[in-house]
Amino acid sequence: MIVKNEAKNLAVTLPSLQGLADEIIVLDSGSTDNSRQLVEQYGGTWYVSTDWQGFGKQRQLAQSYATGDWIFALDADEEVTPQLKESILKIINQKPENKVYGIKRIDCIFGHEIDPSYWAIKAHWRLYPRHFSYNDNLVHESVVLNNANTETLDGFMRHHTAETPLFWLQKRLDYAKAWAEDRHAKGKKVSFYKVILNPLWAFIKQYLIDGRFLKGKYGLIYSLLFTQYTFNKYAILYDLTHNQAEQAFIKSLETSKDLQPVNVSNKQSSLSLVMIVKNEAKHLEACLKTVQDIVDEIIILDSGSTDGTETIARQYGAKWYVNEEWQGFGKQRQLAQSYATCDYVLVLDADERLENDLRHSIVRLLNEPLQTDKVFSVARVNQFCGVEVQKRMWYTDKLARLYANGLFKYSDLDVHESLDQKGVPSEVLQGYLLHITNDNLHHFLMKNVRYSHDWAREKHHKGKKITLLGVLLRSWFSFFREYIMRADILGGAYGYILAFASLGYTMDKYIMLWQLNQGKD
């Protein structure tokens, strides 16, 4: 076995091996839980290699420590059933020949089996003479058969794929990234059509061909999540070749240098820039350059930066505060605003830049007396992987970001926080706010997983309910809204990728909420 922080699964797997193996070899890659104690409790031998070079090579190294004639390759989240144990014992009592044995695996998700045992279940080559070994694949590694004879054993092993939606999503996103980087390093490319078609085929195979439609709600959920995983793999690989984020970032730096000067001598109202940050050294300076000359003070609340963020902030005269007791975006923004002393508050993130027209609009507002009967919104243009997918002529985010200090503040929401306008109208300022959304697709998807988990826990705490039908309808409406209503279709390949990623994000957060509604974390 190869493991890392698998104590919970090992507590199930190791007892199922009793009376089966002459030795248990476990190769760890950096566990911090009590996995080692469990392994040694069941007579296993513990080895460590943190020089990770992929699943294939890690399995090869683990096998090199084995002394038996037969190798049984098992994952920590796989449980041997009694019938399978009997089948294995019959084989290993024989002299090894040129034959590799396949083992059928029943997948389980969130504690529920999602494979019908009477269906045609794929066999995995796991029991073999020691002169066979795994290939070098970074992920999706397999035994090199070398024209060996093969046979499938009777019985099954149970594969406890994930106890929670969050675990599944994080684990599979890591796999998708590793798979894409491995293929990219080998010169592999993927067409946009495969980004569309391969996930559709994955759903057909998982749900219909593999018979998971027979396993009810959890069979459907697994098929949907696997479809998303397939999309993530191919979309990340596509992004590794076509990403334009770095070019867009460099262009934004040039834009910051070419700003037109603004006359601020007639201001009647003062303005505080309020920001919350963490490790924003890459973006912060470009943001501050677009706003430093029109604000009267810069308030920055940090939540634990370890890069040069503070140094850059102080170079621009910012008042620097720190709060590492994170309670969500909403409360962090409230705390940051509490340090502001000016008439108005302008809220920006480090990856946003004011364009010329918006700068002039803000100053025109400041040239008038303080207005407390309305708040002011900005039209934000998002660059996704460096591409302006949603054309500003058609759609922009309208975000209330400029308002009278002391009268308005942000909501308490952990994520998707917004200004509590107290029923007053908002007026959209002329000009645009440029938003450098993400450095790459994986970065974007990773944030979505984190946000979806925080959102689901917050909504569950407040008593929100959702049905599985509601999950499906909301997910597909999210795609329709992005791709058609917001015209992502005009953004080419990245328009489709953004719309499908939006579908995935919506699906993830509602599946998490649905699972919490079932009384499970």
pLDDT at 521 over 90: no
Encoded tokens for 82: 């009694």
pLDDT at 120: 81
CA–CA separation, 233 vs 504, rounded Å? 13
pLDDT at 61: 97
251 pLDDT tier (thresholds 50, 70, 90): confident
DSSP 469-513: HHHHHHHHHHHHIIIIIT-GGGGHHHHHHHHHHHHHHHHHHHHHH
The model's pLDDT over 430-441, given as tens digits with 9 standing for 90+, comes to 999 999 999 999
- Tokens 């957060």 belong to 509
413 pLDDT tier (thresholds 50, 70, 90): confident
Indicate the pTM of the whole model.
Answer: 0.89
pLDDT at 81: 95
**Mean pLDDT along residues 227-251:** 95
Q: Are 158 and 108 in contact (CB under 8 A)?
A: yes
Encoded tokens for 128: 């073999």
Residues 6+ apart with CB under 8 A from 488: 389, 390, 482, 495, 496, 498, 499
Q: Are 349 and 358 in contact (CB under 8 A)?
A: no
**Mean pLDDT along residues 404-422:** 91
Of 9-18, 374-383, 409-418, the range with the lowest mean pLDDT is: 409-418
CA–CA separation, 157 vs 58, rounded Å? 22
**Mean pLDDT along residues 338-343:** 97
pLDDT at 322: 97
Own/partner contacts of 7-11, CB < 8 Å, gap of 24 or more, are: 7/31, 7/33, 7/34, 7/35, 7/38, 8/163, 9/76, 9/77, 9/160, 10/35, 10/38, 10/39, 10/76, 11/38
In the chain, % of residues over pLDDT 90: 92
pLDDT at 168 over 70: yes
The model's pLDDT over 169-209, given as tens digits with 9 standing for 90+, comes to 999 999 999 999 999 999 999 999 999 999 999 999 999 99
The model's pLDDT over 48-89, given as tens digits with 9 standing for 90+, comes to 999 999 999 999 999 999 999 999 999 999 999 999 999 999
pLDDT at 118: 87
The model's pLDDT over 341-383, given as tens digits with 9 standing for 90+, comes to 999 999 999 999 999 999 999 999 999 999 999 999 999 999 9
pLDDT at 477: 97
Radius of gyration of the chain (CA): 27
Q: Are 427 and 361 in contact (CB under 8 A)?
A: no
Q: Report strand pairing: 344-347 vs 426-436.
A: unpaired
CA 306 to chain centre: 22
The model's pLDDT over 457-492, given as tens digits with 9 standing for 90+, comes to 999 999 999 999 999 999 999 999 999 999 999 999
Mean pLDDT over the full length of the chain: 95
Classify residue 323 as exposed, middle or buried by CB count within 10 Å of its CB (0-12, 13-18, 19+): middle
**Mean pLDDT along residues 303-330:** 95
The model's pLDDT over 98-150, given as tens digits with 9 standing for 90+, comes to 999 999 999 999 999 999 988 888 899 999 999 999 999 998 899 999 999 99
- The H or E element spanning position 141 is none
pLDDT at 520 over 80: no
